[in-house]
Amino acid sequence: MVMAYEPSFERTDMIDALCMEIAELVGMLSPQTPLSTSPTLRRELRIQTIYSSLVIEGNKLDERAVSAIIDGKRVLGDRRDILEVENARAAYDLIPELDPHLLEDLLRVYRVMMGGLVPDAGRFRLGNVGVFNGETLIHAGTPAAYVPEVMGGLFEWLRTTRMHTLLASCVFHFEFEFCHPFSDGNGRTGRLWQTLLLSRWRSVLAWLPVESAIRRRQADYYEALARSGATGSCESFVEFMLEAIRESILPYAKPSNPQDMARTRALAFLSGDPHATVTQLAQYLGCSKRSAERTVAQLKEKGVLERQGSPRSGVWVVHAPGL
């Protein structure tokens, strides 16, 4: 009997805190937000996404050149770099019609992303590869003979897991990179697939420039991959990706009032540090102890925060529906 694929992953207080904060931020993305309504902003963010994802992979074109290529203009530069941009644009344009749980669609995206760049675009690799940060080997990928079986198992897990899409997208991203199923272009393909998964949670998340947040912390990205690879469990990478997603959402999540943002930050803080005091919460929020007490009272009244145990030695329990 074949064992079902099950990624090695355990939720941590930090992961729960980040999930709670992201869920609150996503809830603030109103239908009127520019992220939902502005074609100009969406175009700018897609340019940033493609530029950042390819820079991480060593593309030498600057953002202005990437913008010109996406506009159909001729630019001077290495032909391979230009083709990478053209392919990435075509791949991201496929997002609305892709099924994130269909392995055949992953191979289709890879064929578009790497067409003309590698001879096996659209197919799993036949040779063994490694994950490198510059010249440093981060991880040796799954032996080529086992790649189809591992990827089939991973997609079956993705189809059947009860894990929330936000978390599942991060776990999938790590497992994909850990397997490294293709001869080249695994990083850019894995990042696109996580965006695709997030877009099936909330369609507006298709435009989030998560890749830009990763590029700004590229060394941390590879370090998180290496840490999770060394332990065989993906908590470090999931935490990193949740931080990148939060960073990407923040500029577009507008609370209806400052109290909403204070409550969001308070939940994240208390989920991450269940033993924290109200005084410590006030310092974190940058407000008076009295204001922090009012915020706590409001969260208790909403049923999303509970105090268990005595006032001195008790702990905070955050209830995050759906996560």
pLDDT tens track for 148-204: 999 999 999 999 999 999 999 999 999 999 999 999 999 999 999 999 999 999 999
Distances (CA, A) of 249 to 22, 40, 204, 253, 304: 8, 17, 10, 6, 22
- The residue count for the chain: 323
Our CA angle for 308, 313, 317, nearest 5°, is: 30
pLDDT score recorded for residue 255:
63
pLDDT score recorded for residue 1:
44
CATH fit for domain 258-318, picks 3.40.50.10070, 3.40.50.720, 1.10.10.10, 2.40.50.250: 1.10.10.10
Tokens of 183: 């001869």
Answer for the pair 278, 293: CB distance below 8 angstroms, yes or no: yes
Q: How far apart are the first and last CA of the chain?
A: 32
Domain range summary for the chain, segments of one domain joined by +? 13-252, 258-318
pTM above 0.85, yes or no: no
pLDDT score recorded for residue 35:
86
Q: In sequence order, what are the residues at sequence separation of 6 or more whose Cβ sits closer than 8 angstroms to the Cβ of residue 77?
A: 60, 61, 65
CATH fit for domain 13-252, picks 1.10.3290.10, 1.10.357.10, 3.40.50.1820, 3.40.50.970: 1.10.3290.10
- Please state, in angstroms and rounded to a whole number, the distance separating the CA atoms of residues 46 and 199: 14
Phi, psi values for residue 314, rounded to 5°: -75, 180
- Please state, in angstroms and rounded to a whole number, the distance separating the CA atoms of residues 234 and 232: 7
Segments of the chain scoring below 50 in pLDDT: 1, 322
